[in-house]
Structure 1
């Protein structure tokens, strides 16, 4: 148990992730196509073994309880965007997965396709309104792909960070997003979502080690928003999306212009 909690575990995990990143970049640099090898029996064995190892490492990095609000120092030093939210009716849906969680129950019925269309439109309209601060991901325009929104500029700990604001599977409405840790607390307490399994302190640090181009996200800011079941749910999700744009994008898109509201001062 001491190994899993102490600095040795941290260095071991960091070494695995950094080593994997180095190998990936090296293969890309020398333009070596390993697909023919991976289709062979030894290649498949290596791939299966690597997948199992990665799953074990990711499982050890996951937070113990996604319904426990984050205890980030930011929640004590600054306020979030959301003052309050109405209580979500009904029980919480079933969410499975660690690195790429998916919602398994309480999905919008197919006959309510207007809910999915409205969700997609909510996201697409944001960069139309705030083109200087936000833009849509390329996958947004591909069939059956998530609708993704990114920030053009933002500062985390005085470091420029071009981060993902929202990634929504608009076929079922399940949303991956980033919020101010105080807003994550409100979302959890009112039943509209839960923390991403990989939103802990250790994961935030390792993210910066593996990808130098993406500075570490703030601990506890990654959140999963449950799929809206009807238009009433979607109205609340719309408010939460505004909070995400404010947190990662640094602007309040509820205004008609791209007025900066000072979120980059944290």
Structure 2
């Protein structure tokens, strides 16, 4: 009977332990990197903690299990009926392909454009957009930290005392009277539009639907503009959002 030296019998066990340790190290490094990337782009109103990250990761996994069946660039789930403040004829088709979107579901963000592809002055104009609208329409709008973004950026809100306030805003516990905000990390926006206007925005390539089914369907991601002409279109979209919630066209 042959006796196998103990050094040989322990080698497979040592290999398994080493492989497991390496896998755990890489997994931990990936989770740490993903966690800090999630925090750096804003957490979409979720507390910037490990518990908040895990909540958003579960949503991300659930959407991955759909295997692309819910294409957020598909406008068909949006209704064409109801109030409309955008005319398809006046909104040009956005030039070029849609921007790449960050893999995580929340926060809903696009991949930042490559350096040198955004015209000078565009980023500053987008960052100042909410304050500019609030200053232009002080009787309609308030400027406050965005509730939906956890206070990480400013948003415009309809004044709750407006007699023309959209009934949805009176009863919505998530969006309340928030109309729009911009994301400082990459320049995209979220705007609360009527479904008919949201449909135009998605059809024309300017944005995409929001991924969470319990949020109003009109809550729309608008892609970051690259030129001053695109900022003009984005401002027009925000104006439609203002009209949708305040009930006053601007």
Say yes or no: TM over 0.5.
yes
What SS is found at the alignment partner of 1:100? coil
Aligned residues: 188
Give the Cα–Cα distance (whole angstroms) in 1 for the partners of residues 59 and 237 of structure 2: 32
Unaligned segments of structure 2, at least 5 residues = 1-48
Spell out the pairing of 1:71-150 with structure 2 (5 A cutoff). Answer: 71=77, 75-76=80-81, 78-84=82-88, 85-96=91-102, 97-106=104-113, 109=116, 112-138=119-145, 145-150=152-157
Aligned position for 2:195:
181
Structure 2 residue aligned with 1:155, among 156, 166, 173? 166
Which residue is equivalent to 2:12? none
CA distance in 2: counterparts of 1:176 and 1:247, whole angstroms? 14
User: Does the 8 Å CA contact 2:189/2:221 hold for their aligned counterparts?
Assistant: yes
- Aligned-CA RMSD value: 3.4
Paired position in structure 2 for 1:22:
none
Shift of 1:93: 0.4
How far has the Cα of 1:197 moved from its partner? 1.1
For residues 249 and 86 of structure 1, the distance between their equivalents in structure 2, rounded to whole angstroms, comes to: 25
Distance 2:152 2:53 in 1: 26
Deviation of 1:134 after TM superposition, in Å, equals: 1.2
Whether 2:221 is the aligned partner of 1:224: answer yes
In 2, are the aligned partners of 1:148 and 1:168 still within 8 Å (CA)? yes
Closer, same or farther: CA 70–223 of 1 in aligned 2, 3 Å: farther
Query: Gaps (5+ residues) in structure 1?
Result: 1-37, 39-43, 205-216, 254-266
Which TM-score applies when normalising by structure 1?
0.59
Give the structure with the larger helix fraction. 1
Q: Say if 1:108 and 1:187 are closer, same or farther in 2 by CA, change over 3 A.
A: farther
Deviation string, structure 1 residues 69-91 (Cα, Å, up to 9, x no partner): 25456x33x24110120011100
Asked whether the equivalents of residues 118 and 226 of structure 2 are also in contact (C-alpha less than 8 Å), the reply is: no
Contact 1:107 1:227 in 2 (8 A): no
- Once the two structures are superposed, the pairs formed by residues 1-266 of structure 1 within 5 Å of their partners are 53=58, 55-56=60-61, 64-69=70-75, 71=77, 75-76=80-81, 78-84=82-88, 85-96=91-102, 97-106=104-113, 109=116, 112-138=119-145, 145-153=152-160, 154-157=165-168, 159-160=170-171, 162-198=176-212, 200=213, 203-204=214-215, 217=216, 220-253=217-250
Tell me if structure 1 keeps the 8 A contact 2:170–2:177: no
Distance in 1 between residues matched to 2:92 and 2:74, nearest whole Å: 19
Q: Highest CA radius of gyration, 1 or 2?
A: 2
Distance 1:235 1:66 in 2: 24
